[in-house]
């Protein structure tokens, strides 16, 4: 950092200076440090960036808020394992505040999940298939409890949770770490969209049996190693889900 850059930074308001340090620290974290590594001390960082320790402290808090660092009293900040919490929060907010956000999410899902199913059919290990099958079995069990009137509210929650796990397990079975990360981040918004698609499904005269059959078609194709059939089954399922969401939103608008 040049003398001119340091002088300019000292003249910046405290919040702007902290943001500048936060940006520099982000580059350091993403480019030089591994998860679990500790940041240099506040004193070392203050000397490096030629700012006050208070400015460094504010910058570190910013990065903790972004999910990049873990903070503990009396200890140096630690680099966190990456997670998708910020992306998840954005999607949940989008779904709740903008109906079009649901269709943006569906557009993204159709693209990602057809790829996920394709890769899973080519690469899934036995353990990966077991995880997908286990989620499928939980969906069937929960649906049976709902039909029997056994603690239906809890069973409904289990059904949606198992549905999310099915898609997450499929992404993991794809062997693509970026897909796995994205689906982990999408867990909460997916649950929100599932509840809405379920309402639309009922309006269209469909049932959970249709949902289970659609998932089973994907699983059968993946198990058979048929990547084209897996992609087609997933695309058909998600396009049907999109129709359910449209029916749900249309009914809400009518009332």
Structure tokens at 157: 């929650």
Between these two residues, 215 and 64, which has the higher pLDDT value? 215
Is the whole model's pTM more than 0.85, yes or no? no
Per-residue pLDDT, averaged over 78-89, amounts to: 75
**What local confidence, expressed as pLDDT, does residue 110 receive?**
94
β-bridge mates for residue 151, sequence order: none
Do residues 107 and 216 share a domain? yes
**What local confidence, expressed as pLDDT, does residue 86 receive?**
65
Distance CA 55, CA 62 (A): 11
Indicate the number of domains in the chain. Answer: 2
- Please work out, in degrees rounded to the nearest 5, the angle formed at the alpha carbon of residue 158 by the alpha carbons of 86 and 132: 80
**What local confidence, expressed as pLDDT, does residue 186 receive?**
84
Distance CA 115, CA 93 (A): 26
Residue 248's pLDDT band (cuts 50, 70, 90)? confident
Distance CA 184, CA 157 (A): 18
**What local confidence, expressed as pLDDT, does residue 89 receive?**
72
Do residues 232 and 143 share a domain? yes
- Tell me: the pLDDT tens digits for 13-55? 556 899 999 999 988 987 898 889 999 999 999 999 999 999 9
User: Which CATH number goes with the domain that contains 179?
Assistant: 1.20.120.530
**Whole domain around residue 57: which residue ranges?**
3-79
The residue from 61, 79, 97 where one domain ends is 79
Contact 105, 242 (CB under 8 A): no
Name 113's Cβ contacts closer than 8 Å, sequence gap at least 6: 167, 170, 171, 234, 238
In 3D space, the residue among 211, 218, 107, 214 whose CA is nearest the CA of residue 169 turns out to be: 218
**What local confidence, expressed as pLDDT, does residue 250 receive?**
82
Do residues 225 and 164 share a domain? yes
- Tell me: the pLDDT tens digits for 222-243? 999 999 999 999 999 999 999 9
Distance CA 205, CA 89 (A): 32
Residue 8's pLDDT band (cuts 50, 70, 90)? very low
User: Which CATH number goes with the domain that contains 38?
Assistant: 1.10.10.10
For 90, half-sphere exposure in the C-beta direction (CA atoms, 13 angstrom radius) is 9
Distance CA 37, CA 26 (A): 14
Per-residue pLDDT, averaged over 172-195, amounts to: 86
State residue 197 phi and psi, 5-degree precision. Answer: -65, -30
User: Count of CB atoms within 10 A of residue 73's CB?
Assistant: 4
Average pLDDT along the chain: 87
The one-character DSSP state at 71 is: -
- Tell me: the pLDDT tens digits for 134-173? 999 999 999 999 999 999 999 999 999 999 999 999 999 9
Do residues 56 and 169 share a domain? no
């Amino acid at each position: 950092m040049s003398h001119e850059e340091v002088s300019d930074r000292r003249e910046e308001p405290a919040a702007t200076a902290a943001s500048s340090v936060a940006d520099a620290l982000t580059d350091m974290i993403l480019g030089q440090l591994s998860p679990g590594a500790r940041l240099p001390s506040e004193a070392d960082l203050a000397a490096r960036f030629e700012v006050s320790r208070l400015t460094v402290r504010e910058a570190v808090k910013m990065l903790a808020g972004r999910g990049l660092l873990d903070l503990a009293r009396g200890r140096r900040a630690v680099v966190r394992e990456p997670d998708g919490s910020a992306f998840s929060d954005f999607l949940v907010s989008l779904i709740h505040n903008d109906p079009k956000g649901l269709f943006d999410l569906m557009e993204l899902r159709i693209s990602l999940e057809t790829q996920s199913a394709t890769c899973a059919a080519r690469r899934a290990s036995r353990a990966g298939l077991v995880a997908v099958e286990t989620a499928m079995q939980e969906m069937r069990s929960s649906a049976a409890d709902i039909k029997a009137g056994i603690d239906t509210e809890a069973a409904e929650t289990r059904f949606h949770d198992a549905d999310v796990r099915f898609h997450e397990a499929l992404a993991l079975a794809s062997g693509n770490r970026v897909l796995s990360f994205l689906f982990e981040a999408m867990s909460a918004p997916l649950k929100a969209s599932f509840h809405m698609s379920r309402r639309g499904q009922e309006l269209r005269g469909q049932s959970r049996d249709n949902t289970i059959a659609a998932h089973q078609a994907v699983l059968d194709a993946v198990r058979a190693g048929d990547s084209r059939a897996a992609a087609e089954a997933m695309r058909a399922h998600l396009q049907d889900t999109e129709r359910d969401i449209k029916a749900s939103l249309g009914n809400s608008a009518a009332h």
